[in-house]
Amino acid sequence: MIWTGLFAVLFLLVTSYLIFFFLDLHKVVKQLTYISEHETNAELVSTSKNWLVKKLLDKNNLLIKKNKAFYQEQRQKEKQVQKILTNLTHDLKTPLTVSSGYNQLLLKEIEREDHRQILEKIDTSLMDISHYLSYLMEYNLIQEKEMKLQLETLNVSEILQENLFTYYEEFEKQQIRLDLKVEENQMLLLDSSILQRLIQNILGNILKHGHEYAEIALKKDADYIEITFTNGLIKPIEDIQVFFDRFFTEDLSRTNKSTGLGLSIIKELAGLLNSQVTLNTEKNEFQLVLTLKQAREN
């Protein structure tokens, strides 16, 4: 009887110890889950008297501090790299613009055909460099905006029309006929710089690869704005979805520029605004539908 009683007491003590031990572990796991899923300066805390739990907390807190220090160091390095990229792209953009301007002046004045051909090749090369430099600037913008959006209520209709006005001469030069159906004064909470770059990239894509016509329609539906960009193509597209792969290239026009990188950037810019891009194609027609939704804070 005595041994039975002692065994029962021992069993209760061990059971109680294990219950409290697992309860403490459960609390630690809950705190770890929260810390891993949120940006916080919190560390693990516990009122447990168990030396194993205390030791576990100390070691985990040490790891948390090291990870935070490493994360902050990486963020600082990323900011430095972005600053260098921003300065570099702007430093390159200025002489490139000046060189292109002088080259355009020479093209107007030159008379000899062989000299004109050389200048046209230089002009094409300068445009190509400007083209890829713009992609670098867009990539840098995406990296910056992944950290913080500057949200404000924007007149999307007005911003679209302003950009169309800016590109109007280019559309005439490329002999692309514009047909616009834009509902006036459609407002949405978005980041202005991202929306501007998004529209500019899409219009630039039409200018580089469009043919004969472009139709642009904006309409408001419930809590989102839908902008549909439709343009003609010189040749049909076989597999439209691969165009979102930034490493995929295909010649869709008279020039040999890739579209993969451009459409990939368009998709990423839209994603920053909690918006979507869908592509459609039928025979010699290409359509991009931009669905703008109310942006969310990062």
What's residue 262's pLDDT? Answer: 65
189 — phi, psi (to 5°)?
-80, 110
Query: Hey, how many other C-beta atoms are within 10 angstroms of the C-beta on 64?
Result: 18
What domain range is 28 assigned to? 1-147
Mean residue pLDDT of the chain comes to 78
Please name the amino acid found at residue 51. W
Q: Does residue 25 carry a pLDDT above 90?
A: no
Q: What is the mean pLDDT of residues 50-77?
A: 82
- Rounded distance between C-alpha atoms, residue 18 and residue 11, angstroms: 11
CB neighbour list of residue 127: distance below 8 Å, 6 or more residues apart: 100
What's residue 35's pLDDT? Answer: 79
Are 220 and 98 within one domain? no
Q: What is the mean pLDDT of residues 171-188?
A: 93
What's residue 261's pLDDT? Answer: 53
Q: Give the domain CATH number at 287.
A: 3.30.565.10
Are 154 and 295 within one domain? yes
Q: What is the mean pLDDT of residues 192-202?
A: 89
Are 215 and 114 within one domain? no
Are 202 and 134 within one domain? no
Please name the amino acid found at residue 6. L
Q: Which of 60-74, 190-204, 205-219 has the lowest mean pLDDT?
A: 60-74
Name the residue with higher pLDDT: 186 or 235. Answer: 186
Are 101 and 6 within one domain? yes
- Rounded distance between C-alpha atoms, residue 207 and residue 246, angstroms: 19
Query: Hey, how many other C-beta atoms are within 10 angstroms of the C-beta on 259?
Result: 20
Q: What is the mean pLDDT of residues 172-193?
A: 92
Are 133 and 258 within one domain? no
Q: Where are the alpha helices (DSSP H) in the chain?
A: 2-37, 51-109, 113-145, 156-173, 192-209, 260-272
Q: How many domains does the chain have?
A: 2
Q: What is the mean pLDDT of residues 155-178?
A: 92
Q: Does residue 166 carry a pLDDT above 70?
A: yes
- Rounded distance between C-alpha atoms, residue 181 and residue 203, angstroms: 15
End-to-end CA distance of the chain: 67
Cβ-count burial of 286 within 10 angstroms (0-12 exposed, 13-18 middle, 19+ buried)? buried
- Rounded distance between C-alpha atoms, residue 268 and residue 274, angstroms: 10
Domain end, chosen from 112, 147, 182, is at 147
Are 91 and 225 within one domain? no
Q: What is the mean pLDDT of residues 215-241?
A: 87
Q: Is-contact 70 64, C-beta < 8 A?
A: no
Are 30 and 63 within one domain? yes
Name the residue with higher pLDDT: 117 or 269. Answer: 269
Are 99 and 198 within one domain? no
Domain end, chosen from 105, 130, 147, is at 147
Are 96 and 169 within one domain? no
Domain end, chosen from 98, 119, 147, is at 147
Name the residue with higher pLDDT: 47 or 218. Answer: 218
- Rounded distance between C-alpha atoms, residue 36 and residue 71, angstroms: 13
Are 276 and 162 within one domain? yes
Q: Does residue 250 carry a pLDDT above 70?
A: no
What's residue 260's pLDDT? Answer: 46
Are 217 and 81 within one domain? no
